[in-house]
Amino acid sequence: MSLNIDQVHKIAWLARLAIDAEKAAAYARDLSGILDFVEEMSVVDTATVSPMAHPLDQAQRLRPDAVSEADQRELFQARAPLVEAGLYLVPKVIE
C-alpha cells in the first residue's frame, strides 16, 4: 500500500501531530513500508500457532503471600479527622 503526501497530512491531522512539509515525503515512504510489511504478515497462516504471553517459557517468580506488617488500622483511624463504621469520611468532590 502506497501512501501519498496528502494522506500523510490527513493521518498527522487525525493524530494531532505537526509535521514539516519537507519531511512529509519521507514519512509517506516510511509509513508505506510499514503498511506493506503488515500486509505481508497478514498472509501468514497462524491457525496452528497457540497464543503466548511471552516468547520465553519461564515461570513467574512470586514472593510468598504472607503478612509482612502489623495491623495498624485502629491507630490510623484514631488519627483520621472523620471516621464512621470503620470507613474514612472525605469531602464530596464530584457533584
Based on the structure, what is the number of domains in the chain?
1
Indicate whether 86 belongs to any domain. Answer: no
Domain of 34 in residue numbering reads as: 5-42
Indicate whether 34 belongs to any domain. Answer: yes
Whose cell is 519461564? That residue is 58
The per-residue pLDDT for 10 is 94
* pTM passes above 0.75: no
* All residues at 6 or more sequence positions from 54 whose CB lies less than 8 Å from its CB, including other chains: none
Indicate whether 21 belongs to any domain. Answer: yes
In this prediction, residue 17 has a pLDDT band, given cuts at 50, 70 and 90, of: very high
Give the pLDDT confidence of 18-34 residue by residue, as tens digits: 999 899 999 999 999 99
Indicate whether 63 belongs to any domain. Answer: no
Query: Exposure string (b/e) for 44-75, b if CB count within 10 Å is 16 or more?
Result: eeeeeeeeeeeeeeeeeeeeeeeeeeeeeeee
